[in-house]
């Protein structure tokens, strides 16, 4: 029996406005910028969906499902032989008018997968936030697929 689990990142402080991050991440092709080299294979993306291989887990796919300008973006996907997950990006603004984000990932996992996947999921959220904090080319669009 699968349980719905929620994973939440820390708040990331970005060097761009809420509009910049919103416009950038609503084109899924741009997410490749934030994925550390060597963590995925066979990245394929369009503006609203992507698929990739996660060794040794297998294929994952992600679709843009909801967007509320400058404050919220939602993606849904499947991995691990059809286990569903959702990734939510909450965007706020700080006192300097720069964006802050928090990531939430919910996943349907059975107890065994929860034990195996919890650490890697938490690590992935931290890496995404860290990469976004270091990123500076918010107005440069992907020229990918």
Give 81-138 pLDDT, tens digit per residue.
666 889 999 999 999 999 999 999 998 877 777 777 788 888 888 988 999 999 988 8
pTM of this structure: 0.87
> Residue 79's closest CA among 121, 111, 47?
121
State the greatest distance between any 2 C-alpha atoms of the chain, in Å, as a whole number: 46
Task: Name the superfamily (CATH) of residues 3-134.
Answer: START domain (3.30.530.20)
Task: Output the pLDDT for position 116.
Answer: 78
Domain definitions of the chain by residue range:
3-134
Task: Output the pLDDT for position 141.
Answer: 60
- What is the C-alpha radius of gyration for the chain, rounded to an integer number of angstroms? 15
Q: How far apart are CA 129 and CA 126, in angstroms?
A: 5
Q: What is the mean pLDDT of the chain?
A: 87
């Amino acid at each position: 029996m699968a349980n719905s689990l929620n994973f939440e990142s820390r708040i990331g402080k970005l060097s761009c406005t809420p509009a910049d991050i919103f416009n950038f991440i609503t084109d899924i092709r741009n997410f490749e910028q934030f994925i550390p080299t060597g963590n995925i294979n066979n990245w394929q993306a369009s503006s609203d969906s992507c698929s990739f291989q996660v060794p040794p887990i297998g294929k994952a796919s992600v679709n843009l499902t909801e967007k509320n300008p400058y404050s919220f973006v939602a993606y849904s996907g499947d991995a691990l032989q059809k286990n569903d997950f959702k990734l939510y990006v909450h965007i706020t603004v700080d006192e300097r008018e720069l964006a802050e984000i928090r990531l939430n990932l919910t996943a349907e996992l059975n107890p065994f997968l929860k034990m195996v996947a919890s650490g890697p999921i938490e690590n992935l959220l931290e890496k995404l936030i860290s990469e976004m904090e270091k990123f500076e080319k918010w107005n440069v669009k992907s020229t990918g697929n």
